[in-house]
Amino acid sequence: MEESLMTQEHKIFRNTFRKYAEKEVAPNIEKWEELGFVPRENWKKLGEQGFLCPWMEEEYGGYGADFIYSVIISEELARVGALGFMVWLHSDIVVPYIHTFGNDEQKAKWLPGAASGETLMAVAMTEPDTGSDLGAIKTKAVKDGDSWVINGSKTFISLGEQCDLAIVACVTNPDAEVPQRGISLVVVEDGTPGFTKGKKFKKMGFKMSDTNELFFEDCRVPLGNLLGEENRGFLYLMQKLQQERLLCSVMAQASAEVMLEHTLQYCRERKAFGQAIGSMQHNMFKLAEMATEIEIGRTFLDSLVMDHISGKDIVKRVSMAKWRLSEIVNQVAYDCLQLHGGYGFIEEYPICRFYRDVRIIPIFAGTNEIMKQIIGKMMGF
């Protein structure tokens, strides 16, 4: 984020978290990718430092910070190449469901652990046959006495293996005239009988994040685990997707910026035919094109962040940002790797990891095709 938009406190926080990321995150990336997850002790370290859910009130373990702090954390993790350390998902996507729609008892029970790193959370929307079509989900929650009985399955769930609780989108009114109006959010805690976690997926990128299937077979949870009002779950999901897509845009922009930094340095140092490869006209033009696209993206993104903080409806523009910036970051990854030549294909070079990690950004949080559909409908079509 441009420094002109940050207070002195923001700048101090960036410097503090940057040092943390360089010392505690960067040296562990290779190990975490081999493990396929970030160990819980590292989540707890984040919590001890106040880097999880900084926006949360002090009574729950946060310090009431604004959204810029969350942006800084996501940018700095991207800077060290740790896109798969999904702090942003836990802190700024999943936990806000509890914070916004939970009652006082639910907040007191679950939020402190979310801030400390003791309680990791996942949101379970996607199913094997639904993809982006949330209105077509089949997982059902049926009332039985003082419980909900859940049956169904979810897939592609990030933090699915480690999560201590999952916020599960379920059909609670199968007879609803509009399917979206029959969906509720139900919280399922790890260890609940009938709730099982499938094997981790082996992914192309984001290798340090655990992603897997979740299964529910006569899974019985208290009626009090309903989040918010019954049959309003789809509306709740839509309300939170604005911030999720904004954070995807932050991740894309920050990744593009750091890839260009690495590539500029490489192109200045690498010599061919007696000159730095960056001074060759074709390569120079490529670098100029990338720098221009990235500069425009930064201006657009920062305006969205400030509008989001001020409470404006940015659904249309954030959909534009999510699809466009995720396309730009993938083009930047392609061009930067090409400029690295054979070295770009070697894991020791950061561009290699970025190349495989950023490919998911046009897919998750709603595919770019869905983003264009949203934009088109908001244009009156």
Q: Count of CB atoms within 10 A of residue 193's CB?
A: 10
Amino acid type, 370: I
CB-CB contact of 263 with 336 (8 Å): yes
Q: What is the 3-state secondary structure (H, E, C) of the chain?
A: CCHHHCCHHHHHHHHHHHHHHHHHHHHHHHHHHHHCCCCHHHHHHHHHCCCCCCCCCHHHCCCCCCHHHHHHHHHHHHHCCCCCCCHHHHHHHHHHHHHHHCCHHHHHHHHHHHHHCCCCEEEECCCCCCCCCHHHCCCEEEEECCEEEEEEEEEEEECCCCCCEEEEEEECCCCCCCHHHHEEEEEEECCCCCEEEEEECCCCCCCCCCEEEEEEEEEEEEHHHEECCCCCHHHHHHHHHHHHHHHHHHHHHHHHHHHHHHHHHHHHHCEECCEEHHHCHHHHHHHHHHHHHHHHHHHHHHHHHHHHHCCCCCHHHHHHHHHHHHHHHHHHHHHHHHHHHHHHHCCCCHHHHHHHHHHHCCCCCCCHHHHHHHHHHHCCC
Q: Count of CB atoms within 10 A of residue 376's CB?
A: 11
> Helix 281-309 to helix 315-340 angle, to the nearest 10 degrees?
150
Dihedral in degrees, nearest 10, Cα atoms 212, 213, 219, 224: 60
Catalytic residue among 75, 213, 244, 293: 244
244 is known as an active-site residue? yes
Active site members: 244
